[in-house]
């Protein structure tokens, strides 16, 4: 068919700017798996100019159970997703194991754009663009010829009308008539009328018998029974035993001599290589020919230079190998320009390649193990599959046969401690052609090679230290096996947990057991036998220890024949759960509590590391100094009304000149005391004075708190920190405040 009309091809792509492929490129295999005896799926990360995710289905037509087929929607203008069409076409003896999107189509109505035929039948006549910027400006197709081999090549589709000894070119079949075209409409058109507009002439031709197919190599003969002249808007019905020629412009003038009653014939021919082909689909551009880049469109056009998702079909020189190839366009895959895509395919060593619809249409599906369903292999550019008009299918015709391989999991994997069991769960069983089998549980069995493993259904239990092997059989045939190593004790074992526990409290201990290689030993937690040495408490079977009285002892764990002791110390129970006998200020805090100078919290804790508030400081000092709380003078702090919980203690401390308020007439009861403020309060409360020989590097003589800090140091109330500082601006903790009060009292 000659280039006769300019069309705008809707390619529906997500596009980005282009660059040539980098000279240095690398390809990493992400995964590889056979889908059938003649089909393999490979996933790659290809790093050229950018990183791209490649999906590649390789098909070997030499395999007697393998073929490539064309998938079409249920109706002419219908569209469906790649996986839906593949699953619809899949069945016993015709398993679709791989699929890729096909050629371009109109997004508005779903009609194909280019020539499509199947089993020599013309599904759609198609057209060729006369713009070199378009994807398809030359008649090129991919298909499988009558001898079962793949082909990517040009085609010459001619439709010739003969009338009164003259021949005329018909420009298309069963598609919309454009300007200056003559289109043949047969009963196989997608609608029963031509739907041509009134700006042309239409010839209704009647044949002797019904036309039941429209195909290459066909000649149809009939007589003109009616002519619809220019301007007639009535729809022209396509008869079952006839056809219609619809002409416009120059073509209508060219055919002007045809009259009612004239006999005409129409012949449809195509190159011999495509005649009787199993299928052929026009697309483009050509990307690779004779192993070299050969792009049959303007490589500087916007369609070619945009970086997007791409789809292509490639074949080997002997035409026996077919390759479905897609490039993703996602956040992790930049997509390719057409030049980059062609260069990539050349690098794979294929003889020829043709571009298919890309962008959001780029889709690849495959039959994953364990199911006959075709699922997505790639990540579509817009997150989900687009409904498209054609797909290509990799098909396995192999019949379902006996079990050949199995996929399973084990609940326990590794070196087992004697007495440990493991459950085997079968995920799927495949025959030698990778067809999944329906699993009959009654045919599954486990066999212990050396009889040291006790088998019960799909569970086995290790009975003693030994090296053994489990065989998984199906219907008496061994499909898989794995070694089982059993030991009577860990090679190494350690106990973890608290070294110190307060009397009356609990702590949980755990075991880490490893085999001779340093890997975790496999065993049930209940197999650890716990005990306590030293009469310091009790321990449960799960390793929870409860301390009963102070003293030293050990937590003992026994696993198999190995025993490990873990020394611990139980600390005496203090007045507070968080101030045990091992606390550095246990004696001081206990003294203050026993004399009711300090109290803890309702939950039995003292919170020694919590920062003390100004209100609590006043309360403690009021208790220690036995201040009169019955005859206080209201200091009129704005934030300490007479209803305040600690009004009397705060007022008594202020009246005694021990603690003062802040600017603005407030006391700030919830404010935190600094160590400098604490020094002043304690020095004044206990009338401490003097200068110590010990000076603090962060409290100079000019510091307002210098004399108070020195008074505390001079009287042995504070020693500061090891680095020679006092940290005057740090908030004081409850433990340190209690310590300073205790030292002041003593």
Please report where in the chains the tokens 């037509």 appear, as a residue: 61
The residue among 602 and 302 whose pLDDT is bigger is: 302
Verify cis geometry, omega within 30 degrees of 0, for the bond prior to 552: no
pLDDT value of position 7: 28
pLDDT value of position 381: 93
Report yes or no on 37 lying in a domain.
yes
Q: What is the pLDDT of residues 55-92, one digit of tens each?
A: 999 999 999 999 999 999 988 878 999 999 999 999 99
End-to-end CA distance of the chain: 113
Percent pLDDT > 70 in the chain is 97
For the purposes of burial, counting CB atoms within 10 Å of the CB of 183, is it exposed (0-12), middle (13-18) or buried (19 or more)?
A: buried
| 113 and 85 in a common domain | yes
Beta bridge partners of 67: 395
Domain limit, last residue, from 220, 239, 269? 269
Q: What is the mean pLDDT of the chain?
A: 93
Distance, CA of 357 to CA of 336 (rounded, Å): 14
Q: What is the CATH number of the domain that holds 463?
A: 2.60.40.3440
| 461 and 517 in a common domain | no
Report yes or no on 386 lying in a domain.
no
Which tokens in the block code for residue 489? 């004790």
Q: What is the pLDDT of residues 322-357, one digit of tens each?
A: 999 999 999 999 999 999 999 999 999 999 999 999
| 144 and 283 in a common domain | yes
| 469 and 514 in a common domain | no
- Give 582's pLDDT tier (boundaries 50, 70, 90): confident
Q: What is the pLDDT of residues 510-522, one digit of tens each?
A: 999 999 999 999 9
Which tokens in the block code for residue 26? 């690398």
Judged against a pLDDT cut of 80, whether residue 8 lies above it is answered with no
Judged against a pLDDT cut of 90, whether residue 612 lies above it is answered with yes
| 497 and 473 in a common domain | no
Distance, CA of 573 to CA of 547 (rounded, Å): 10
Inter-residue contact 523 to 515 (CB < 8 Å): no
The residue among 108 and 154 whose pLDDT is bigger is: 154
| 681 and 597 in a common domain | yes
Q: In sequence order, which residues have a C-beta less than 8 Å from that of residue 148 and are 6 or more positions away? A: 61, 67, 278
pLDDT value of position 651: 94
pLDDT, mean of residues 710-730: 94
Least Cα distance to 132 among 346, 291, 302, 289 occurs for 302
Domain limit, last residue, from 487, 503, 529? 487
Q: What is the pLDDT of residues 652-699, one digit of tens each?
A: 999 999 888 899 999 999 999 999 999 999 999 999 999 999 999 999
Least Cα distance to 121 among 212, 236, 238 occurs for 212
| 146 and 114 in a common domain | yes
Judged against a pLDDT cut of 90, whether residue 11 lies above it is answered with no
Distance, CA of 468 to CA of 447 (rounded, Å): 10
Number of folded domains that form the chain = 5
The pTM for the full model equals 0.73
For the purposes of burial, counting CB atoms within 10 Å of the CB of 82, is it exposed (0-12), middle (13-18) or buried (19 or more)?
A: buried
Inter-residue contact 686 to 659 (CB < 8 Å): no
Inter-residue contact 285 to 295 (CB < 8 Å): yes
Judged against a pLDDT cut of 60, whether residue 4 lies above it is answered with no
Report yes or no on 21 lying in a domain.
no
Beta-carbon count within 10 A of 327 CB: 27
Report yes or no on 18 lying in a domain.
no
Q: In sequence order, which residues have a C-beta less than 8 Å from that of residue 166 and are 6 or more positions away? A: none
Q: In sequence order, which residues have a C-beta less than 8 Å from that of residue 401 and are 6 or more positions away? A: 431, 432, 433, 435
Report yes or no on 478 lying in a domain.
yes
Report yes or no on 227 lying in a domain.
yes
Report yes or no on 639 lying in a domain.
yes
Per the structure, the complete domain to which residue 566 belongs is given by 492-571
Angle, to 10 degrees, between the axis of helix 614-624 and the axis of helix 675-685?
A: 20
| 107 and 137 in a common domain | yes
Q: What is the CATH number of the domain that holds 237?
A: 2.60.120
- Strand-by-strand arrangement of the 537-539 sheet: 506-508, 544-547, 537-539
Report yes or no on 581 lying in a domain.
no
| 532 and 474 in a common domain | no
Task: Give the phi and the psi of residue 707 in degrees, each rounded to 5.
Answer: -65, -35
pLDDT value of position 691: 94
Q: What is the pLDDT of residues 424-468, one digit of tens each?
A: 999 999 999 999 999 999 999 999 999 999 999 999 999 999 999
| 282 and 245 in a common domain | no
Inter-residue contact 417 to 559 (CB < 8 Å): yes
- Give 550's pLDDT tier (boundaries 50, 70, 90): confident
Distances (CA, A) of 463 to 251, 483, 490, 521: 91, 15, 16, 16
| 168 and 191 in a common domain | yes
Q: What is the pLDDT of residues 13-45, one digit of tens each?
A: 222 223 333 345 799 999 999 999 999 999 999
Strand 364-367 relative to strand 352-356, pairing: unpaired
Beta bridge partners of 221: 265
Distance, CA of 593 to CA of 599 (rounded, Å): 6
Percent pLDDT > 90 in the chain is 86
SS (H, E, C) 353-390: EEEECCHHHCCEEEECCCCCCEEECCCCCCCCCCCECC
| 184 and 244 in a common domain | yes
Domain limit, last residue, from 375, 394, 415? 375
């Amino acid at each position: 068919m000659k280039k006769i009309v300019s069309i705008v091809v809707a390619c529906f792509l997500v596009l980005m700017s282009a660059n040539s492929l980098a000279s240095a490129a690398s390809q990493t295999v992400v995964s590889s798996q056979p889908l059938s005896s003649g089909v393999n799926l490979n996933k790659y990360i290809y790093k050229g100019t950018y990183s791209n995710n490649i999906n590649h289905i390789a098909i070997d037509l030499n395999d007697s159970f393998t073929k490539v087929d064309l998938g079409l929607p249920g109706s002419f203008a219908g569209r469906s997703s790649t996986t839906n069409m593949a699953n619809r076409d899949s069945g016993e003896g015709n398993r679709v194991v791989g699929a890729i999107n096909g050629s371009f189509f109109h997004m508005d109505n779903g009609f194909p754009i280019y020539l499509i035929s199947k089993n020599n039948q013309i599904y759609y006549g198609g057209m060729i663009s006369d713009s070199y910027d378009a994807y398809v400006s030359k008649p090129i197709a991919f298909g499988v010829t009558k001898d079962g081999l793949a082909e990517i090549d040009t085609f010459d589709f001619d439709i010739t009308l003969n009338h009164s000894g003259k021949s005329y070119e018909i420009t298309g079949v069963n598609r919309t008539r454009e300007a200056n075209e003559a289109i043949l409409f047969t009963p196989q058109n997608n609608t029963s009328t031509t739907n041509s507009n009134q700006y042309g002439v239409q010839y209704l031709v009647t044949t002797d018998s019904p036309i039941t197919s429209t195909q290459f190599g066909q000649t149809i003969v009939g007589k003109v029974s009616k002519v619809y002249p220019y301007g007639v808007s009535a729809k022209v019905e396509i008869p079952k035993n006839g056809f219609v020629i619809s002409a416009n412009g120059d073509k209508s003038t060219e055919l002007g001599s045809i009259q009612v009653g004239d006999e005409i014939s129409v012949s449809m021919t195509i190159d011999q290589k495509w005649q009787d082909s199993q299928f052929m689909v026009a697309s483009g551009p050509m990307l690779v020919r004779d192993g070299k880049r050969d792009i049959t469109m303007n490589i500087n056009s916007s369609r070619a230079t945009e970086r997007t998702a791409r789809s292509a079909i490639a074949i080997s020189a002997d035409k026996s190998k077919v390759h479905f190839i897609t490039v993703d366009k996602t956040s992790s895959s930049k997509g390719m320009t057409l030049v980059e895509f062609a260069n990539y395919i050349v690098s794979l060593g294929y003889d020829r390649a043709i571009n298919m619809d890309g962008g959001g249409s780029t889709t690849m599906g495959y039959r994953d193990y364990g199911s006959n369903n075709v699922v997505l292999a790639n990540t579509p550019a817009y997150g989900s599959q687009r409904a498209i008009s054609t797909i290509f299918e990799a098909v396995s015709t192999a019949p379902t046969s006996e079990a050949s391989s199995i996929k399973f999991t084990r609940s326990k994997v590794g070196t087992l401690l004697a007495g440990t069991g493991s459950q085997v769960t079968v995920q799927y069983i495949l025959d030698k052609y990778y067809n999944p089998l329906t699993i009959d549980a009654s045919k599954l069995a486990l066999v212990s090679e050396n009889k040291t493993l006790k088998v019960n259904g799909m569970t086995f239990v290790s009975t003693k230290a030994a090296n053994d092997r489990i065989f998984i059989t199906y219907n008496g045939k061994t499909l898989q096996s794995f070694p089982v190593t059993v030991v009577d004790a860990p090679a190494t074992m350690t106990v973890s947990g608290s070294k110190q526990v307060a009397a009356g409290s609990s702590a949980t201990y755990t075991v880490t057991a490893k085999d001779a290689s340093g890997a975790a030993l496999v065993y049930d937690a209940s197999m650890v036998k716990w005990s306590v040495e030293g009469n310091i408490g009790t321990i449960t079977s799960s390793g929870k220890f409860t301390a009963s009285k102070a003293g030293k002892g050990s937590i003992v764990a026994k696993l198999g024949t190995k025993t490990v002791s873990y020394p611990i110390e139980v600390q005496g129970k203090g007045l507070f759960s968080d101030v045990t006998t091992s606390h550095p200020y246990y004696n001081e805090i206990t003294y203050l509590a026993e004399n009711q100078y300090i109290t803890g919290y309702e939950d039995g804790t003292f919170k020694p590391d919590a920062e003390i508030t100004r209100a609590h400081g006043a309360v403690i000092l009021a208790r220690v100094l036995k201040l009169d709380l019955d005859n206080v003078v209201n200091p009129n702090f704005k934030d300490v009304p007479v209803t305040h919980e600690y009004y009397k203690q705060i007022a008594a401390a202020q009246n005694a000149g021990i603690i003062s308020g802040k600017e603005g007439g407030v006391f700030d009861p919830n404010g935190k005391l600094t160590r400098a403020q604490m020094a002043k309060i304690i020095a004044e409360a206990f009338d401490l004075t003097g200068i110590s020989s010990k000076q603090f590097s962060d409290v100079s003589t000019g510091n307002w708190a210098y004399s108070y800090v020195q008074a505390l140091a001079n009287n042995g109330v504070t020693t500061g920190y090891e680095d020679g500082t006092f940290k005057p601006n740090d908030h004081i903790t409850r433990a340190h405040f209690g310590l300073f009060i205790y030292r002041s009292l003593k």
